Structure 1
Amino acid sequence: MNTAREGATLGLLLRNDGANLVAIVILSRGKCGLSKCVTRYLVGMAAADLLVVISDPLMKWTAVIYFPRSFLRITPVCRFDLWLIFASTATSVWLTVAFTVDRFVAICCEKLKAKYCTERTAAVVIGTVSVLACLETVPWGFMYESGEIIDGVPWDCVMTLSFTNSPSWSAFEVFHRIFYPCVPFILMLLFNILTVRRILAASRARRGLRGQKSGENDKDREMENRRKSIVLLFSITGSFILLWGTQVVFSIYKRISMSFVYSVTDPRYITDHTSGMLQILSSCTNMYIYSVTQSKFREELKNVLKYPLNRILKLMKR
């Protein structure tokens, strides 16, 4: 039953892997009506999310369930994959924060907007965040050791005893669990509140001004664009907070209770796996958010899906 559940989760995540690829292709075309700066951030987030899905369900769980003796289970490869999961997840988290900050600057800081909200700045921020996330997560690669040695080759990755007993590891994990994603939670909530407050104030002032000039029934294109931006921003950050919440709370509980291993009948085992699944699913939701909130993205998605069919029809006509 456990294997079946893992396999079903794997299939769901692999389908979302394709969704991230489609999102990257569509956004890279630059025809969604978004600025180059926003497009950079969204492509960076989609790429980081794609890497999370590849490294976790594909390389980790596929190897465990279907290829128990593949090269992916050799200890150095296994340790690299486990580090890659942490590194890509951290990159995804902080790119979401960076995107939130960028939208805050664009809406609330008129003087800084021209210098900060540019394609070049976005590229620098994405590169810096990615490098720092990779460096910060390096210690996680040393949390595991080989489970057995066959013909001189170390196999599998098991948690070291020092991880559960060492004060240094405890301090590092507490720092990591606070830094990811508690600090991002606080930052996103703070910047979202400030952004919404500024938008509401600007909307009231603009409605009053337009009401004096041309009547209330005229459609304000600028306010419509702001509304779409805030819907996109809140959808991305809101889904992130909701899907990460269970993982954060349960990780703190595990460290406080010093409980790391459970039987398959223990409710904590189900909670642990469910929280991990929700956290990984946070790397798969953005493409669906784009589809729901962005009309031009939906149009481009339809064009991408129709393209193979159109090519086949043209070949048949020939």
Structure 2
Amino acid sequence: MAYPIVWQIEDIFFPLISAIGVSVNLVAIMILSHGKCGLSKCITYYLIGMAVADLLVVVFDAILWITVPIYLPNSFARLTPMCSLFSALGSAATVISVWLTVTFTFDRFAAICYERLKAKFCTERTAAACLVTVTVLGCLESLPWYFIYEPRYIIDNIPWGCIQKSSYFSSPAWLAFEIINGILTPCVPFFLILLFNALTVRRIIVSSQIRRGLRGQRSGEKHKDVEIENRWKSIVLLFSISASFVLLWVTKVVYNIYSRIRDIRFYDSYTDPCFITDRTAKMLQVLSSCTNTCIYAVIQAKFREELKNAMTYPFKQIIKLWNRLKNLSHAS
């Protein structure tokens, strides 16, 4: 049988996205941690938390769960306890990443739409509490994934590979867990992000109209309203992150709903459209863990400046060292 085209694509996609994902998320964490991007500490906390979660998605899901077993089939990653652990950790990182996107979206919604709520919720302390809470709950939600696998085969009393237990397909408890897990991630977050962004846009439009009315502006006149302009700039980052999440997760959400309705658990062949859709959705989901840094670089001028400084720093140090060596040689 010919090697499925989807797997051929995955063999290239996941190693490539692994290299990119680790690099861009480490860069984002490093730059945001310096606190020189002109963002409030509250927003910075959320963005760093999202970058760390995205990095862990790439490490546990793209690298240890998929890429390493493909190219190193006899490595430690193929041991049953290890691949079970990577499955659970990859799921936890994904849940945490998704729900941190929700909390960040709600934080910006509260800051823009409700002044009283902003004073209480949009603080460093609340952001830190949300990060810890989401992390703990995400780990607890994903813990059962460790127990769904059994060895694919045993060699010299050592369990290798991971295959889902037969009870996973027949037990009502596992079925309930799978349904609840699918609803919590990503269906509910998907809906909440769309809802918060829609309400935020509506509030901004209404506020803009009211301010223009109070300022006595006519439709044909052009006057700058600094507050409105700053408000729009402040939410460009939010909308960009949300739009990226929605676009890259929509395939996964729609397919999850469709597969539940049709009760799809097995595929007829590797050319089955459902199988291809499922694997495509997985690749898009992992890709979503690598886009935020690109968004920061496009939107945030100070982030671009810090990124430029980080990229040129090693060369500057080499030039300084070279100049010092030249000066020493001339002095001697």
TM-score, normalisation: structure 1: 0.93
Contact 1:105 1:113 in 2 (8 A): yes
Match of 1:279 among 262, 267, 285: 285
**What's the C-alpha RMSD, in Å, of the aligned pairs?**
1.9
Instruction: Identify the residue that residue 185 of structure 1 maps to in structure 2.
Output: 190
Which residue of structure 2 lines up, in the alignment, with residue 307 of structure 1? 313
Which of the residues 55, 75, 97 maps onto 1:70? 75
Match status 1:291 vs 2:297: yes
Matching of residues 1-318 of structure 1 within 5 Å: 4-14=8-18, 15-210=20-215, 219-255=224-260, 256-318=262-324
Supply the distance in 1 between the matched residues of 2:188 and 2:110 (Cα, whole angstroms).
19
TM superposition shift of 1:259: 3.1
Partner SS for 2:289: coil
- 1:39 maps to a residue whose letter is T
Please say which of residues 47-56 and 287-296 is displaced more in the overlay: 287-296
One-letter amino acid matched to 1:239:
S
SS in 2 for 1:32: coil
Structure 2 SS opposite 1:282: helix
Matches of 1:165 and 1:86 in 2, distance apart?
22
8 Å Cα contact 1:262/1:268 also seen in 2: no
Q: 1:186 to 1:253 in 2, by over 3 A?
A: closer
User: Relative to 1, partners in 2 of residues 1:295 and 1:210: Cα closer, same or farther, differing over 3 Å?
Assistant: farther
Which deviates more, 31-40 or 197-206? 197-206
Look up the SS of the partner of 2:37 in the other structure: coil
Aligned 8 A contact 2:69 2:75 in 1: no
Relative to structure 2, which stretch is displaced further, 292-301 or 45-54?
A: 292-301
Identity among equivalent pairs (%)? 58
- Write out per-residue CA displacement over residues 147-202 of structure 1, whole angstroms, 9 at most, x where no aligned residue: 11112211111111122222222222111111211111221122112211221222
Residues in 2 aligned to 1:253 and 1:209: alpha-carbon distance in whole angstroms: 49
Please give the TM-score of this superposition, normalised by the length of structure 2: 0.89
Map Cα deviations across residues 202-239 of structure 1 (whole Å, 9 max, x no partner): 22233344557xxx655443323211222111111111
Could you say if the C-alpha distance between residues 67 and 30 of structure 1 is closer, same or farther in structure 2, counting changes exceeding 3 Å? same
Q: Distance in 2 between matches of 1:229 and 1:262?
A: 49
C-alpha contact 1:73 1:156 (8 A) present in aligned 2: yes
Contact 1:145 1:158 in 2 (8 A): yes
CA distance 1:310–1:218, change in 2 (3 Å): farther
Between structure 1 and structure 2, the one with the greater Rg is 2
Alpha-carbon contact 1:106-1:113 (below 8 Å) kept: yes
Taking a change above 3 Å as real, the CA distance of residues 217 and 31 of structure 1, as seen in their structure-2 partners, is farther
Looking at structure 2, the residues matched to 211 and 9 of structure 1 have their Cα atoms a distance apart, in angstroms, of 56
Distance 1:207 1:313, change over 3 A: farther
- Distance in 2, matches of 1:220 and 1:242, equals 32
Deviation of 1:274 after TM superposition, in Å, equals: 0.7
Paired with 1:145 and 1:200, the residues of 2 have a C-alpha distance of 55
Note the residue ranges of structure 2 that are not aligned, 5 or more in a row.
325-332
- 2:327 maps to none
Whether the 8 Å CA contact 2:15–2:67 is kept in 1: the answer is no
